[in-house]
Amino acid sequence: MKQSDIPDDGGATCQCGSDPSDPPGALTINQLLLESRMGLERVHPSDLEREMAAGALVVDTRPVDQRDRDGDLPGAVVIDRNVLEWRLDPSSPHRLPIADDPARRIVVVCNEGYSSSLAAHTLQRLGLTRATDLIGGFQAWAALRRQSD
């Protein structure tokens, strides 16, 4: 199963088989993705502005080359994926000042809505229980904007 074969609506079930050479209890990335999404109340691109207006912190984790190519996400704070947890964990000495409320809604946005699901799940495990991500990522949001122009 390829990444593109995994529906980005959060409602998929995995029909994946295990490789006999995998360690006991090991997951595939596709299984981990589906498991991560089970605990997320994912945001549809058409609802992103409403989430922001309600006070959600929108975090763009796309690499600089993708942001340069496709543009910025207005109103989002950019945090590199490799430091995301340190910048948002309420107990981290490296936390950003805007991440001062563990109950705040956080919407993680990546390019297509895959790595953001994994990141949001990790943030939830750090106690940021309202962390989630954007279905389809930046590309889905941009496509919706192009349709409305």
What was the pLDDT predicted at 148?
A: 84
Say which DSSP state 149 is in: -
Long-range contacts formed by 15-22: CB under 8 A, 24+ apart = none
**What average pLDDT does the segment 46-62 reach?**
98
The answer on pLDDT for 62 being more than 50 is yes
pLDDT digits (tens, 9 = 90+) for 90-139: 999 999 999 989 999 999 999 999 999 999 999 999 999 999 999 999 99
| Residues constituting the chain | 149
Query: Tokens standing for 62?
Result: 């796309």
What is the C-alpha end-to-end distance of the chain, expressed in Å?
35
Backbone angles phi, psi at 134, to 5 degrees: -95, 125
pTM tops 0.95 = no
Mean pLDDT of the chain: 89
pLDDT tens, residue by residue, 22-45: 677 788 999 999 999 999 999 999
